[in-house]
Structure 1
């Protein structure tokens, strides 16, 4: 038996996410340094980077809002379609009708064989 512990999927995902975050921070600092090197004041560079972050967040929220709205619309339409009674596809039923007790369609026509002189 090995005493070496195995890395779980959650830990592997956390490490992957941490590496991505560090890469993002490194690039952000690199862009900030490049902006400052181009002559942009430090505070203006920070405001510009935050503006880009907020713009990306706004686009993501806008997209998520419309996707959620489409999902809700789809669920409502499917519920309505599922609960709608379609009279054209209803099955014939036994009931008393104009021609006496028998098997009638949804529009009132008797479809079972019957004798007219039962009286």
Structure 2
């Protein structure tokens, strides 16, 4: 058996978080006392501290929402790039080729009017 007990990382982390929490509570009590000393009723001081906590929580949730939304858009853009959804050059070429083939089938089609250089009846003047 070991002569000295070693604390794990989780235990040290818990102790550190406990000390931080106790320090926060101590500072909150000091702030509450300071507010009472300056003429604010004890109930009002407590309510004011709660309002400040709720405002801070609201701001944090607001920032977290926008960061999460930004992350969702970044993941969606990465997925689209990876799967070739944003590769519009080949799609545009297919659309133009499809429209050109439909246009060529119309009666009275003149390749010179549409500058269709790939057509066999095109004449360069």
Is the TM value for this pair above 0.5?
Answer: yes
The equivalent of 2:43 in structure 1 is 43
Moved over 2 A (4+): 85-89
Indicate the structure whose relative CO is greater, using CA pairs within 8 Å and at least 6 residues apart: 1
Deviation at 1:32, TM superposition (A): 0.2
Q: Considering only aligned residues, what root-mean-square deviation do their CA atoms show, in Å? A: 1.7
Alpha-carbon distance in 2 for matches of 1:65, 1:6? 41
The reply on whether 1:4 has 2:4 as its aligned counterpart is yes
Displacement of 1:48 after TM fit? 0.2
Q: Larger % of strand: which? A: 1
Q: What TM-score, normalized to structure 1?
A: 0.70
What's the counterpart of residue 68 of structure 1?
68
- Matched with 1:83 is 83
Distance verdict in 2 for CA 1:55–1:2, change over 3 Å: same
Residue matched to 2:102: none
**Structure 2 portions without partners, runs of 5+:** 91-125
Structure 1: how far apart are the matches of 2:41 and 2:75? Answer: 51
1:3 Cα shift?
A: 2.4
In 2: Cα distance, 1:35 partner to 1:87 partner: 63
How far off its partner does 1:5 sit?
A: 1.6
The structure in which a higher percent of residues are helix is: 2
Is the aligned partner of 1:55 residue 2:55? yes
Distance between the aligned counterparts of 1:22 and 1:41, measured in 2?
24
Determine the C-alpha separation between the residues in 2 that align with 1:88 and 1:30: 66
Structure 1: unaligned runs, 5 residues or longer: 90-119
**Which residue of structure 2 lines up, in the alignment, with residue 117 of structure 1?**
none
